């Protein structure tokens, strides 16, 4: 059994790599120092946004790299998301946003760079920050922006050519039917062969293409290509009334409907400065924790099934089902769809009408604890889990992995703890961590998180009062144009971000959704190196990445 | 006592009816016990028959890059398995055509079946077929020498590698047949059986993860009648391996006389033994996770140790030929 480090205990880690780690610098500059450093970027204004707890800083294109270096090296914030916005109609520019959110409690920077739509170029960040490349590839294909120095110029999500970049405003541009070239990296040498898998798989799962470079049964390299699920969700938001946006927000990753819609709702609420009744926030918290239980029980079941231990999987699935049935009883929807609304809840949550709610959570906790003993007490199970798909801490930190994946590698990052929101304000969340970063560590962290979720759910239950307001339409306020807001939620997969920009009449101008899987997908490529091919599904299941959330 | 030719013929056909007809049911029993341990109801007992019937009614689809190997492999593999039936005494001794070959022939026939299936899996050039067949041949290379050793362990006390002779000795000795060397040989055989028939912890027959499968990966390219033969053959092989275990380890109940009543009783006994053994295998599977691929070698090593122990005991304790 792996040992979870106790509170405040130093976590042993790999020999220091040549890159600077955020955790090497636990002390941050004071707010005054931060402001001074940001002003040195030559910007016109540096504003602290108290509701989003970050600096908003416009940056000229020539200072883009310097700004990123400042955020990373001096403020010690990792890049959380990078996205484009077509602001030609109101600013005559294309804007690129880069968000650096601290993994330490609060703090962060939001850089905005306005670039010329006729010559949209920007220096790349990917030379110093490897995980910036997918963000830049997406902005490049969706907005036609050219990143100077970006090595990987393959499209990220689009599989066919488009006459016009799809996220630029204008008439919908249908794909032209021409498949784009997508060369995969190859390993050459005697006995090396390639195993292509997918996008259609033998099981019923989402589509994705995996290209393995293999010697015997050993995986030398893996490259993943996604985008098969690209639905243009971000474009679907545009022009819709902001109170209806939850419909699309909850379908970005269907298994995280509640987390997705809460993140969206928070973003709009911050943009419009809408108050939310505290009871509604508590109920959102209750629903999010119940969703987390169902999701993580599903992960445990998947891991048990993939090690070929169907008895354990059956138990975990039973627990998962009880969580889903609880959601069904509370909201009338197994996935909690259509419940969260902007400004509160769309429908009442039937807390008092659901009998034995507290007992359900209690039984779920007892069940998962018993299952933990059973799984970790079985030598044939533990043998498959230990040392499989290891992600060392420094890699997790360097690549800014989030969620249970990062925590299993020893990072203590959890937005519920670091940037508390809604129900978690004033409710301390215990963040379990692993050490080894292998499948077993991820399994244990997930089980610990279910236990913690049960505790939080009980706590929310005890503090919620009855008689919950159901919001009407968001009033069409004047002067909503150009307002923006950020919503963040610790979803079952980790840091979930939604950024909303509003147009006139509280209509959605641009919505950017950063699913945690967007950051975590490279983890599978790194985790399977040196493992054997038959262990790939296990690594995959333990990371449980969202295809739909990545592709949107 | 030797029987008349018509009686021999009836018994011969009866053996085939028993094994061929019963093997889907045995698979269903296995699946059902497994489902029960997982809290599920499981498929009805006739489901494998329905599946086979459905598949037999369908045409086979072949890859454009497939050669004759793909077309004939299911038939060759199935025929090789069919040929092993008379080598095992099921319910009557001496069994009809039982002296036609010994257990070394049986190992050879199983190897032929394995070889042709693996060859066909690589034939169409699909990646999964290739992966499945390399794994299968690697396991075969580990399992076959051990299989021979286990047979010697069973055969040494009887001084024969013929299943009929070994079983006859068991029947005549009665309970005295159960000796320490026999117990060791049984353990070795059960370990080997898991490898040979692709049960957990070696191969998960329920998985549809294309990267972990062994047998499933090899039959991925097959459809219709060919798939029916291969699936039937899979259950058939399990019945053969378990049938052989019963004949070697617990031959009591096999009739040595050719009277109708005794033979019918023996048929009933062997059916019960087969059912019981399948239930035991599924219980064994339920309590264990699939092992990491390369640990198959551990299992066969263990089987070697037990088989050697059995052989050594036979010669030390005495009773060896």
Q: Read off the pLDDT of residues A78-95 as tens digits, 9 standing for 90 and up.
A: 899 999 998 888 888 899
Share of chain A above pLDDT 70, in %: 91
Residues B50 and A150: their CA atoms lie apart, in Å, by 58
DSSP code of residue A82: E
Q: A233-551, superfamily in CATH? A: Cytochrome-c3 Hydrogenase, chain B (1.10.645.10)
Locate all alpha helices (DSSP H) within A387-465, ordered by sequence: 393-398, 403-408, 415-418, 439-463
Domain range summary for chain B, segments of one domain joined by +: 5-317
Residue window 352-381, chain A: list those with CB within 8 Å of chain B: 378, 380-381
**In whole angstroms, what is the distance from residue B281 CA to residue B37 CA?**
13
Please report the pLDDT score of residue A19 as a whole number.
40
* Packed helices A357-376 and A278-306: angle between N→C axes, nearest 10 degrees: 30
Find the closest chain A residue to B38 by CA distance: A311
Q: How many alpha carbons lie under 13 Å from residue A63 in its C-beta half-sphere?
A: 19
**Do A507 and A479 touch, CB atoms closer than 8 A?**
no
Of the CA atoms within 13 Å of residue A280, those in its CB half-sphere come to 21
Topology, domain A24-148: Beta Polymerase; domain 2 (3.30.460)
Take residue A219 and report the two structure tokens written for it.
Answer: 């995986």
Residues of chain A with pLDDT under 50: 1-5, 11-22, 24-25
Q: Which of A475, A471, A502 is nearest to A240 (CA)?
A: A502
Q: From the CA of A318, how many Å to the nearest CA of chain B?
A: 9
In this structure, the dihedral spanned by the alpha carbons of residues A130, A132, A137 and A139, taken in order and rounded to 10 degrees, is -170
Of A181, A182, A213, A183, the residue nearest A196 (C-alpha): A213
The crossing angle, in degrees rounded to 10, of helices B5-37 and B224-249 is 100
Give residue A321's pLDDT.
Answer: 94
**pLDDT tens track for A219-265:** 888 999 998 999 989 999 998 988 888 999 999 998 999 999 999 99
How confident is the model at residue A8, as a pLDDT? 56
Closest Cβ opposite residue A306 in set B127, B209, B294:
B209
Write out chain B residues lying below 8 Å of A313, CB-based. 38
Closest chain B residue to the Cα of A217, Cα to Cα: B131
Instruction: Report the pLDDT value the prediction gives residue A20, as an integer from 0 to 100.
Output: 42
Residues of B whose CB is below 8 A from A201: 210
Tell me which chain A residues have a C-beta less than 8 angstroms from the C-beta of B209: 202-203, 306, 537
Q: Give the model confidence (pLDDT) of A172-201 as tens digits.
A: 777 888 888 888 888 888 888 888 887 888
pLDDT value of residue A14: 43
What's A269-295 look like in SS3?
Answer: HHHHCCCCCHHHHHHHHHHHHHHHHHH
If one counts every other C-beta atom within 10 angstroms of the C-beta of residue B74, the result is: 24
Q: How far apart are CA A256 and CA A53, in angstroms?
A: 25
| Cα atoms found within 13 Å of the Cα of residue B117, Cβ hemisphere only | 33
Rounded Cα–Cα distance for residues A201 and A204 (Å)? 7
Residues of B in contact with A306 (CB under 8 A): 209, 212
Q: CB A306 to CB B131 under 8 A?
A: no
Partners of B302 on chain A (C-beta within 8 Å) are none
Per DSSP, the three-state class of A485 is strand
- pLDDT at position A16: 37
In chain A, what residues touch B206 (CB-CB under 8 Å)? 310
CB contact at 8 A, A261 and A246: yes
Q: Which two tokens stand for residue B102?
A: 């010994």
Distance in angstroms (rounded) separating the CA atoms of residues A529 and A218: 8
Question: Which of chain B's residues have a Cβ under 8 Å away from the Cβ of A535?
Answer: 212, 292
pLDDT at A105: 61
Residue B158's φ and ψ, nearest 5 degrees, are -85, -15
* Per-residue pLDDT of chain B in tens (321 residues, 90 and over written 9): 567 888 888 889 999 999 999 999 998 998 899 888 888 888 899 999 999 999 999 998 888 888 899 999 999 999 999 999 999 999 888 888 878 889 999 999 999 999 999 999 888 888 888 888 888 899 999 999 999 999 999 999 888 899 999 999 999 888 888 888 899 999 999 999 988 888 877 777 666 677 777 888 888 888 899 999 998 998 889 999 999 999 999 998 888 888 888 889 999 999 999 999 999 988 888 888 888 888 888 889 999 999 999 999 988 876 544
Look at A384 and B37 and tell me if their CB atoms are within 8 Å: no
What pLDDT was estimated at residue B321? 42
Q: Which of B292, B294, B297 to mutate to test the interface with A (most CBs of A within 10 A)?
A: B292
pLDDT at A473 (0 to 100): 56
Q: Distance between alpha carbon B19 and the CA centroid of its chain, in Å?
A: 11
Contact A311 B287 (CB under 8 A): yes
Chain B nearest C-alpha distance from A299 (Å): 16
What b-and-e string marks burial along A435-455, b requiring 16 or more CB atoms within 10 Å of the CB?
bbbbbbbbbbbbbbbbbbbbb
Q: Which of B129, B290, B295, B298 to mutate to test the interface with A (most CBs of A within 10 A)?
A: B290
For residue A148 the two structure tokens come to 């100077």
Q: At A219, give phi and psi (nearest 5°).
A: -85, 120
CA A469/CA A403 separation, integer angstroms: 32
Residues 6+ apart with CB under 8 A from B70: B62, B63, B120, B123, B124, B221
Task: Report the DSSP pairing between strands A121-123 and A146-148.
Answer: parallel
Sign of CA dihedral A318, A323, A329, A333: negative
pLDDT for res A521: 92
Nearest by Cα to A344 from A489, A478, A243, A428:
A243
Residue A536 touches partner B, C-beta closer than 8 Å: yes
Indicate the pTM of the whole model. 0.85
Task: Count the Cβ atoms, other than its own, within 10 Å of residue A178.
Answer: 10
The two tokens of residue B64 are 């454009």
Domain with CATH 3.30.460.80 in chain A: 24-148
Cα A35 → chain centroid: 28
Q: Residues of B with CB below 8 A from A316's CB?
A: none
8 Å CB contact of B201 and A308: yes
The whole-angstrom distance between A407's CA and the closest CA on chain B is 26
* Cβ-based interface (< 8 Å): residues of B facing A: 34, 37-40, 127, 131, 135, 200-201, 204, 206-212, 220, 286-295
Q: What are the tens digits of pLDDT across the range A301-331?
A: 999 988 888 888 889 999 999 999 999 988 8
* Å between A233 CA and nearest CA of chain B: 30
- Is the ipTM above a cut-off of 0.90? no
Of the candidates B178, B167, B201, B176, the residue with the CA atom closest to the CA atom of residue B288: B201
CB atoms within 10 A of CB B283: 13
Torsion angle defined by CA atoms of residues B125, B131, B133 and B138, in that order, rounded to the nearest 10 degrees:
150
Give pLDDT, residue A263: 94
Phi-psi sector, B303: left (phi>0), alpha (psi -120 to 50), beta? alpha
């Amino acid at each position: 059994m792996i040992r979870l480090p106790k509170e405040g205990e130093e976590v042993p880690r790999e020999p220091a790599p040549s890159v600077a780690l955020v955790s090497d610098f636990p002390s941050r500059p004071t707010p005054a120092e931060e402001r001074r450093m940001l002003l040195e970027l030559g910007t016109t204004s540096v504003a602290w946004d108290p509701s989003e707890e970050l600096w908003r800083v416009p940056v000229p294109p020539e200072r883009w790299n310097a700004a990123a270096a400042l955020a990373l090296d001096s403020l010690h914030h990792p890049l959380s998301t990078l996205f484009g916005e077509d602001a030609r109609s109101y600013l005559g520019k294309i804007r690129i946003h880069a968000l650096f959110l601290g993994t330490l409690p609060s703090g962060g920077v939001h850089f905005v760079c306005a670039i010329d739509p006729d010559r949209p170029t920007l220096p790349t960040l990917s030379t110093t920050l490897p995980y910036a490349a997918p963000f830049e590839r997406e902005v490049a294909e969706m907005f036609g922006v050219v990143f100077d120095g970006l090595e990987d110029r393959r499209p990220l999500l689009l599989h066919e050519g488009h006459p016009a970049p799809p996220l630029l405003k204008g008439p919908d541009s249908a794909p032209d039917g021409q498949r784009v070239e997508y060369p995969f990296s190859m390993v050459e040498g005697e006995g090396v062969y390639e195993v292509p898998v997918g996008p259609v798989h033998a099981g019923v799962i989402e589509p994705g293409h995996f290209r393995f470079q293999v010697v015997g049964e050993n995986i030398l390299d893996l490259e993943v290509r996604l985008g098969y699920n690209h639905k243009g969700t971000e474009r679907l938001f545009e022009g819709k009334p902001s109170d209806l946006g939850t419909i699309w927000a909850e379908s970005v990753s269907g298994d995280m409907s509640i987390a997705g819609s809460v993140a969206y709702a928070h973003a709009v609420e911050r943009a419009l400065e809408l108050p939310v009744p505290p009871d509604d926030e508590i109920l959102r918290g209750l629903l999010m924790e119940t969703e987390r239980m169902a999701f993580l029980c599903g992960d445990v079941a998947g891991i048990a099934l993939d090690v070929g231990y169907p008895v354990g999987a059956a138990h975990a699935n039973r627990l998962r089902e009880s969580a889903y049935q609880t959601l069904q009883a509370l909201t009338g929807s197994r996935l909690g769809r259509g419940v969260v609304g902007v400004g509160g809840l769309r429908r009442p949550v039937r807390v008092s009408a659901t009998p034995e709610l507290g007992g359900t959570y209690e039984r779920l906790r007892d069940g998962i604890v018993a299952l933990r003993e059973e799984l970790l007490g079985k030598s044939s199970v533990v043998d498959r889990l230990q040392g499989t798909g290891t992600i060392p801490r420094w890699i997790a930190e360097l690549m800014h992995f989030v969620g249970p994946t990062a925590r299993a590698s020893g990072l203590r990052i959890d937005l519920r703890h670091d940037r508390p929101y809604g129900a978690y304000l004033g409710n301390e969340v215990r963040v379990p961590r692993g050490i080894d970063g292998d499948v077993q560590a991820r399994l244990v962290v997930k089980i610990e998180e279910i236990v913690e979720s049960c505790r939080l759910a009980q706590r929310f239950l005890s503090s919620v009062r009855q008689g919950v307001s159901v919001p009407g339409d968001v009033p069409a306020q004047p002067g909503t144009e150009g307002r923006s807001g950020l919503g963040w939620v610790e979803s079952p997969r980790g840091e979930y971000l939604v950024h909303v920009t509003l147009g006139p009449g509280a209509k959605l101008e641009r919505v950017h959704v950063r699913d945690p899987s967007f950051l975590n997908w490279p983890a599978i490529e790194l985790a399977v190196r040196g493992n054997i091919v038959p262990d790939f599904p296990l690594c995959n299941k333990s990371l449980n990445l969202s295809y739909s959330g990545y592709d949107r | 006592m030797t029987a008349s030719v018509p009686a021999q013929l009836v018994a011969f056909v009866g053996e085939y009816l028993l094994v061929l007809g019963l093997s889907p049911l045995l698979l269903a029993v296995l699946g059902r016990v497994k489902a029960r341990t997982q809290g599920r109801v499981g498929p009805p007992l006739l489901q494998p028959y329905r599946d086979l019937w459905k598949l037999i009614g369908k045409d086979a689809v072949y890859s454009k890059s497939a050669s004759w190997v793909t077309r004939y492999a299911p038939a060759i593999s199935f025929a090789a398995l069919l040929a092993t039936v008379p080598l095992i005494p099921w319910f009557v001794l001496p069994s009809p055509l039982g002296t036609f070959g010994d257990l070394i022939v049986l190992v050879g026939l199983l190897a032929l079946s394995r070889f042709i299936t693996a060859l066909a899996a690589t034939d169409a050039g699909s990646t999964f077929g290739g992966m499945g067949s390399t794994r299968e041949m690697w396991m075969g290379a580990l399992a076959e020498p051990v299989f021979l050793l286990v047979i010697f362990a069973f055969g040494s006390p009887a001084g024969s590698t013929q299943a009929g002779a070994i079983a006859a000795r068991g029947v005549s000795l009665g309970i005295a047949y159960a000796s320490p060397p026999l117990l060791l040989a049984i353990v070795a055989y059960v370990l080997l059986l898991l490898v040979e028939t692709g049960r957990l912890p070696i191969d998960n027959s329920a998985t549809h993860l294309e990267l972990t499968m062994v047998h499933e990966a090899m039959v991925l390219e097959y459809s219709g009648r060919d798939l029916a033969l291969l699936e039937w053959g899979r259950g058939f092989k399990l019945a053969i391996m378990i049938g052989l275990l019963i004949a070697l380890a617990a031959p009591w109940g096999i009739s040595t006389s050719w009277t109708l009543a005794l033979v019918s009783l023996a048929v009933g006994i062997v059916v019960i033994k087969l059912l019981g053994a399948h239930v035991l295998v599924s219980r064994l599977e339920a309590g264990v996770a699939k092992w990491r691929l390369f640990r198959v070698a551990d299992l066969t090593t263990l089987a070697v140790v037990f088989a050697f122990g059995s052989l050594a005991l036979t010669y030390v304790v005495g009773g060896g030929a």
